[in-house]
Amino acid sequence: MQNHEIILVVENDANTRDSLTRALQGEAFEVLSAADAGAARELLMNNSVDAVVADIWLPGLPGAEFVREIKAFNPKCQVVVTTEYGTIERAVEAVREGACDFLVKPVPSAVLIPSLRRALSSRGHAPPRIEKRAPARPLPPETEILPGIVGTSAAIRDIAAFIRRAAQSNAPILLVGESGIGKESFARALHMLSPNPDGPFVAVACDSSSQPSADPLRLEEEIFGQAENGSQSGRVDDARGGILFLDELTAISRPAQARLYRLLNRGKSERVDSKKSEPADVRIVIASHTDPADAVKRGLLRRDLFYRLSATTMKIPPLRERAEDIIPLVHRFINRYGKANGGEVTGITPEALAMFVESPWHGNVRELEHSVERAVILASSEMLKPENIQEPSVKLDDSPRKIEIPIGMPLQEAEGLIIRAVLEHCGGNKREAAKQLGIGVRTVYRKIAPARKRPRRRLTRRNARVRKADSVKKG
């Protein structure tokens, strides 16, 4: 079936131009092509072009200026610019001038065609151009690369390919990336693509930095269950037939890591205080914001568990290294929060969109989402504008800081002050703080826990063996 839309491809490299032309013709578009801006101007004047796919580097004319010319001549003509990885800043300038998207070369048809269709779907709604600045645009429809995931970068395409392949197996997966990158979203996408998407997805937040009195043994019991006191089940049991997602590998104690390693190797789970193992029909997906090899060096990760997970580890780059994913993410969040706030916000101006693309987003997708949500709440019109956007947070200073201990401060208070300062420096990771301080993890928990009468420790077979051994030594 022939499309009525006319697409103009402007690319000075003949091979790339021919490749793009064939991809578009394969989708039944009518395609015109030009090698430079001069030839493109002539084709624009003599044809009713619906969209332009243009290289950001054009002989004799920067791509951003060419976008400005196109929008001035025909405000309803949509423009998608293509760029090399190192020229993303110039692509952002093109977005400011009215380009609706930018794609990093090489551009596969699986990315080009959805981007172009999104652009074409919104061209009929653009308001008449009455000023030099690019008009506001309604949002294009979303195209997910994975269930719940949008993006067009080469990195996100590689991750999507990995997730799709891995979803068909039962191998454990380790997702590594900075905080806020969306590791749980990728884990859920893998679950939705698995042979049993209706099975349970059980998430466990292993990093209990918000609960200073937590005990590593309690986390181990929560995950695996315990044999004493009525034989309580764990999250492994809850996730049977589905996925158990453990968020933050390095927060899991080494004894629990040993238990996890046996589960991954044998497919059987052991409850705490029990030597009996039971078959565990569960797939394990783990997240970590720490590089696994570095975690091994720092004593946060068992070496055997590292090697067990190394073959199926996927590193997710931070958002600042894949800026081309910001535009579809911004569109998604405007759609989400615009509807949640009465549907008043339906689009974004090019200047506001460029502000999002230019920001570093040290908090990654989570920070971007919160920023868009805030902008939607503050917006007084149907379009997000630059004045609605708050400046993103600055990167936290990782350099060592000093603390002052007044003369005469009781030793117990000084210890607590030092431990809390180191804990803050380590981002709440108690195992790392303990390693830097040269003390045990339990000591960290005990020193920062509020003062209270310590409950009597329950007698288990494990404790009984320890007490018996102590009594023999004393004898």
pLDDT level of residue 20 (50, 70, 90 thresholds)? very high
- Give the residue, 151 or 441, on which the prediction is more confident: 151
Domain spans in the chain, listed from the N-terminal domain onward: 6-135, 154-315, 322-388, 400-475
pLDDT level of residue 229 (50, 70, 90 thresholds)? low
Res 36 pLDDT > 90: no
Q: What is the DSSP code (8-state) at residue 408?
A: T
pLDDT of residue 209: 43
Over residues 367-372, the mean pLDDT reads 92
Distance CA 5, CA 124 (A): 12
Res 105 pLDDT > 70: yes
Query: What mean pLDDT is reported for the chain?
Result: 81
- In the numeric block, the tokens 């998608």 are attached to 80
Q: What is the pTM of this model?
A: 0.66
pLDDT of residue 127: 35
Over residues 5-12, the mean pLDDT reads 91
Over residues 372-401, the mean pLDDT reads 74
CATH number for 6-135 (one of 3.40.50.2300, 3.20.10.10, 1.10.240.10, 2.40.50.140): it is: 3.40.50.2300
CB 14 within 8 A of CB 38: no
Give strand pairing partners of 269. 278
- Give the residue, 235 or 400, on which the prediction is more confident: 235
pLDDT of residue 398: 46
- Give the residue, 272 or 129, on which the prediction is more confident: 272
Q: Return the sign of the alpha-carbon dihedral for residues 362, 365, 366, 372.
A: positive
Q: List C-alpha distances in Å: 107 to 6, 46, 81, 112.
A: 20, 28, 11, 6
pLDDT of residue 142: 62
pLDDT of residue 270: 86
Window from 91-105, 194-208, 394-408 with minimum mean pLDDT: 394-408
Fold match between domain 6-135 and domain 154-315: yes
Report the CATH fold assignment for 400-475: Arc Repressor Mutant, subunit A (1.10.10)
- Give the residue, 238 or 126, on which the prediction is more confident: 238
* Helix, strand counts (H, E) of the chain: 20, 17
Window from 24-38, 166-180, 287-301, 398-412 with minimum mean pLDDT: 398-412
Find which of 82-86, 308-312, 334-338 is predicted with most confidence, using mean pLDDT. 308-312
Find which of 121-135, 181-195, 317-331 is predicted with most confidence, using mean pLDDT. 181-195
Distance CA 322, CA 156 (A): 8
DSSP string, 128-148: PP-SSSPPPEEPPPP--SBTT
Summarised one tens digit per residue, pLDDT across range 319-356 is 988 888 998 899 899 988 887 766 678 788 888 888 88
Res 472 pLDDT > 60: no
Summarised one tens digit per residue, pLDDT across range 242-266 is 999 999 999 898 889 999 999 999 9
Res 429 pLDDT > 80: no
pLDDT of residue 3: 61
Architecture of domain 322-388: Orthogonal Bundle (1.10)
Provide the CATH number for the domain formed by 154-315 in this structure. 3.40.50.300
pLDDT of residue 139: 57
Summarised one tens digit per residue, pLDDT across range 443-461 is 877 776 654 444 444 545 5
- Give the residue, 183 or 347, on which the prediction is more confident: 183
